[in-house]
Amino acid sequence: MPHDIFKRDAAGRMLWIEAAKDLKSGKWLAKKLSHHNEGEFVVFDRPKNQVVASFYGSGATSNSTLSLRVLRLFGEMGQDRLDLHVLFEAAGNEPEERLRVLAAIDELVRAGMLDALGGDFYALTEKGKGAVAQS
C-alpha cells in the first residue's frame, strides 16, 4: 500500500493512522476522519516521499471520560512516562478509536496535564496527577 494516513498532533509530529491502497481511498479516509475529529489529517505518498493531500477537521468534541482513562493509565502502569502505543489501550486499536485517543492526548497536552516528550512518549505533569487524584 503506497499511501499512508497521518494525523499531525499538537506538537507538530505526524502520527501514523492507517495505510491506504491508493490515493483516492487515502483522500477519502483522511477527509472522513477530518469530519469527525479535530486537527490535520494528511495523505503521504511513499513512492514520491511527500504529502499529497491535507484535510483539517474541527469535528471532535471534548471527551473527558476518555481523557481521564488516558491519565489513569499512567497510574495503572506505575509510570510517569508512557509510549503512545500504551496510551492507545485507553480505547482500542481501531483507527477511529486511536483517533479519539490522539484527540484526548492533544487536549491533555494543551491543558498542561501531559507533556509531549518526543519519540511518541508523553509524561504526566503535576497538574495531570492532580486531576487523577480528584477523580
Cell numbers given for 101: 485517543
Q: Is the pTM of this model over 0.85?
A: no
Q: Which letter does DSSP use for residue 9 in this model? A: -
* Fold of the 64-134 domain: Arc Repressor Mutant, subunit A (1.10.10)
10-residue mean pLDDT profile of the chain (135 residues): values are: 85 85 90 78 90 73 71 89 86 75 86 89 90 74
Domains of the chain: which residue ranges? Answer: 3-58, 64-134
pLDDT at residue 121, rounded to an integer: 93
**φ, ψ dihedrals at 21, nearest 5°:** -75, -25
Q: What is the Cα–Cα distance from 73 to 28, expressed in whole angstroms?
A: 33
Confidence at residue 13, expressed as pLDDT on a 0 to 100 scale:
79
Instruction: Report the pLDDT value the prediction gives residue 93, as an integer from 0 to 100.
Output: 63
Q: Tell me the one-letter amino acid at 85.
A: H
What per-residue confidence (pLDDT) applies to 114?
93
